Amino acid sequence: MNPFPPYSSVVESKLAGRYITNTHIDPLLSDYNHSIIGHSTSGLPIYRIRMGTGSTKVLMWSQMHGNESTTTKSLLDLLRFLNTNPDWLDNLQLSIIPILNPDGAKAYTRVNANQVDLNRDAIDLSQVESRVLREEFDQFLPDYAFNLHDQRTIFGVNGKPATVSLLAPAFDQNRNYNSCRTLAAQLASTIFEGLHPMIGSQIGRFDDSFNPNCVGDAFQSAGVPTLLVEAGHCPDDYEREKTREYVFYAYVLALKAIATSSFSDVSVYHSIPENQKLFFDFLLRDVSYLENGDMKRGDVGLQYKEVLQNSSIAFQAAFSASGDLSHCFGHIEPNCEKLDWFDFKIEESAQNVLNTLDL
Ligand SMILES: [Zn+2]
């Protein structure tokens, strides 16, 4: 039995693709109890949606990195689902910030308009967006927090792309587990077990090095169980619409666990394999290429650059690595038998290589 609602009935079909900004979500907010809780560096509104009046408070924010929009799409799916299933909210009170960094979203950058990474600003609070989030944290006083991101296509697990990655961030240098971090890890366990029948081998655990300037680490240190969710690559899904669906299920699993105080065992979290940087968008095995004037034979990895063009994201291939990449994988590994040698350092020729391979 599928424990989830039929996704087609909840998906917010007005959102699609990778380029998601305030302009895209503005028309959708009138369906929800929303307000403006601050303005970005360049003056764009930062929206917050409140839902439910239950006793357990959950804070979720997305797109603190402006070009990481998948979890935002899933949040709007979640809102649609909860609007038609209000009984889910009997025990819950949600505060949702769908786009914390609207300037970065508009420019399709990780950083904000001052070129600052907001996820390295938790102590300094040097940026207005960081302060807006911290004020919401201090005023709402959540019982749980969700820090929502996208990860690059380079991450893999079990030799497969890491479609969803989870992390219960550390609260100290020794990466100890107290009751707070354990609860966050149990949330991750719950999500892992629920998603396992669908994408079990494509769920990874992120590196838990402690960085008090990361917001998740800071909130965990403040005693609020905080979970990092990273939306990643799913085969043939560069628009991340399939991943979006899995992330929606992750939200549903987590909220159900919180509402019913029913969590999977922390040992499940520890059994999730760690992410590794093992993937290229394209891996060309055993090809000839010219590098710094020398003809070589080996493997070549190509990685897409995501470029904002005419209000959508173009994927432009670029050379990333060469040599013995036999331990790596490509999301696409084309047959290169008929490929002529190419100049590894000339960026434009990366696309020419793909054209030659007729992919
Ligand atoms: Zn991020």
> What percent of the chain lies above the pLDDT cut of 90?
93
Give me ligand 1 centre to Cα 151, in Å: 7
Report pLDDT digits (tens) over 118-130: 999 999 999 999 9
Q: What is the pLDDT of residue 67?
A: 98
Q: Kindly give the distance from the C-alpha atom of residue 277 to the centroid of ligand 1, in angstroms, as a whole number.
A: 16
For 354, counting Cβ atoms within 10 Å of its Cβ (0-12 exposed, 13-18 middle, 19+ buried), the class is: middle
- pLDDT tens track for 160-216: 999 999 999 999 999 999 999 999 999 999 999 999 999 989 999 999 999 999 999
Q: Let me know: does 60 contact 95? Beta carbons within 8 Å.
A: yes
Q: Are 192 and 264 in contact (CB under 8 A)?
A: yes
CA distance 121 to 137: 15
Q: Which residues pair with 62 in a beta bridge?
A: 148
- Distance from residue 303's CA to the centre of ligand 1 (Å): 18
Q: Are residues 257 and 310 in the same domain?
A: no
Distance, CA 271 to ligand 1 centroid (Å)? 24
C-alpha distances in Å from residue 348, one per residue of 216, 289, 316, 341, 355: 39, 14, 9, 14, 11
The two structure tokens encoding residue 191: 């999500």
Domain around 116: 7-276
Are 172 and 241 found together in one domain? yes
Same domain, 336 and 351: yes
Centre of ligand 1 from the C-alpha of residue 63, in Å:
7
Same domain, 290 and 264: no
Strand 56-62 relative to strand 144-150, pairing: parallel
pLDDT of residue 2: 58
All residues with CB under 5 Å from ion ligand 1? 65, 68, 149
Q: In whole angstroms, what is the distance from residue 350 CA to residue 334 CA? A: 14
User: Which domain-ending residue is among 276, 306, 328?
Assistant: 276
Residue 43 and residue 190 in one domain:
yes
1 domain-assigned: no
Taking the centre of ligand 1 as the mean of its atom positions, its distance from the CA of residue 343, in whole angstroms, is 33
What distance in angstroms lies between residue 2's CA and the mean position of ligand 1's atoms?
30
Q: Which residues of the chain have pLDDT under 50?
A: 1
Give residue 1's pLDDT.
43
Distance 111 CA to ligand 1 centre (A): 9
Q: Kindly state whether residues 345 and 263 are assigned to the same domain.
A: no
* CATH code for position 244: 3.40.630.10
Number of structural domains in the chain:
2
Q: Across the strands, what pairs with 304? A: 317
CA separation for the pair 84, 241 (Å, rounded): 22
